[in-house]
Amino acid sequence: MYEHPDAASLVRALRPDEPVTLLRPHAATRAARFFVEKFPGKSLYAVKANPSPALLETLWAAGITHFDVASLGEVRLVHKFLPEAKLCFMHPVKSERAIAQAYHNHGVRTFSLDSREELEKIVRATASDGVLATDLELCVRIRVSSDHAKLSLAAKFGADPSEVADLLVATRQVADSLGIAFHVGSQAMTPAAYAEAMELVRAAIVEASVTVDVVDVGGGFPSVYPGMEPPALEGYFETIHRCFEDLPISYSAELWCEPGRALCAEYASLLVRVEKRRGNELYINDGSYGALFDAAHVAWRFPVNLVRDNASDDMAEFAFYGPTCDDMDYMAGPFILPADTQAGDYIEVGMLGAYGCAMRTEFNGFGDTEDIIVEDEPMASLYTRIAANDAGNVVAIGKRSAQ
């Protein structure tokens, strides 16, 4: 894989015709070390955010040893590249075949569920010759609010509060280890999201009167985007730890989280070329069927930078059209760029390590992209203090934890 200092040097050297994904392994390493060292429990990387094998190996080398997988395909992928990793099948609705293959062929013992039907399915699929499994680690997912998140995850999964107690009791009967899990939604902008969810966890444990071995606070940890500047992650960790310590659980209970975006958003950006300008609309060579799905379909704003010397100091608001023939291949932005941006220019779109790389398609014959490592810093970061420490060799944050 080629390496360049930054996007500008790449443009000068290659003038690429196709989009280029700029990878920053050092940024993913830094984020992983932050969670390994500072989160007061185990961190499971949510593979759906970016399943790149190179990223998985980077996170593993930085100390992430547990992985939240949501499909048999993700189970196979992580098991292939990281055979020693612990895989946690955290999708609450799975096929019986997927459960059986994950358990019997890939050593998966941790499963999520949110209904009695799913529990019965897991019990059947993990049995051997009629003998029930005795090594299951089962996490009951409860429904919590997504009010503090930019993208809701409250509608699809999670046991209703009226059903949680009975489901916990039933799961306790067949689980070697019982967990309770939730997800506050993607890009949670305040630690209060976790505090409020933990109150529902408390109520469920008290009502069910069961011994809980794992509390999994899920994902939702934010990154930095234009118009979205969350508080420091340490504040989230402190709130979660305080609430966890106040729960009616045993001293040996474990605390888990499932970061996706927070671990990989800074890992990648995208270099695109402007093919045409029409007023304040720029036609670029990637779009909603490529890495910019969120920019089109949920109006997510990403940081942008014109990769050209001597650009105008005057700034303007632009919208993007992608390269396909579909009118829906449109990203309203606004994206703030120099007013003299024109055809032939290159634009770097930042913070696309999460979901951008994962959602690329080949619709209309587009989708080819080259991966190139760059050495500069991400366009935005929650980890700048850690970067400063790394530069000064102040702290040793690369140890493998007990995760």
Name all domains of the chain by residue range, CATH numbers in brackets: 3-22+265-374 (2.40.37.10), 25-264 (3.20.20.10)
pLDDT of residue 395: 34
pTM of the model: 0.91
The single-letter DSSP state of residue 223 is -
Peptide bond into 334 cis (omega under 30): yes
Q: Is 353 helix (H, G, I), strand (E, B) or coil?
A: coil
**Among the listed residues 55, 91, 59, 54, the one whose alpha carbon sits nearest the alpha carbon of residue 73:** 91
Cα(363)–Cα(254) distance, integer angstroms? 44
110-150 per-position pLDDT tens digit? 999 999 999 999 999 999 988 999 999 999 999 998 888 78
Neighbours of 371 (CB within 10 A): 14
| 305-342 burial: b if 16+ Cβ within 10 Å, else e | bbbbeebeeeeeebbbbbbbeeeebbbebebebbeebe
Contact assessment for residue 66 and residue 42, using Cβ atoms and an 8 Å cutoff: yes
pLDDT of residue 224: 92
Q: What is the mean pLDDT of each run of 10 residues along the chain (403 residues)?
A: 88 95 96 96 97 97 97 97 97 96 97 96 94 96 87 80 93 96 93 95 95 96 92 95 94 96 96 97 94 90 94 94 93 95 97 90 85 94 66 34 30
Amino acid identity for residue 255 in this structure:
L
For residue 350, what are the contacts with CB-CB under 8 A and spacing of at least 6? Answer: 269, 302, 303, 304, 305, 378, 379, 380
Q: Is 6 helix (H, G, I), strand (E, B) or coil?
A: coil
pLDDT of residue 3: 86
pLDDT of residue 368: 82
CA atoms 318, 319, 321, 327: torsion sign: negative
Q: CA geometry: angle at 113 spanning 167 and 127, to 5°?
A: 95
pLDDT of residue 397: 29
Q: Is 231 helix (H, G, I), strand (E, B) or coil?
A: coil
pLDDT of residue 402: 30
Amino acid identity for residue 247 in this structure:
L
Query: What phi-psi label fits residue 84: left (phi over 0), alpha (psi between -120 and 50 degrees) or beta?
Result: alpha
Residue matched to tokens 């993990």? 126
Which residues sit opposite 110 in a β-bridge? Answer: 88, 137
Q: Return the axis-axis angle of helices 96-106 and 116-126, rounded to nearest 10°.
A: 40
226-271 per-position pLDDT tens digit? 989 899 999 999 999 999 999 999 889 999 999 999 999 999 999 9
Query: What is the pLDDT of the chain when averaged over all its residues?
Result: 91
Which residues sit opposite 347 in a β-bridge? Answer: 272, 306
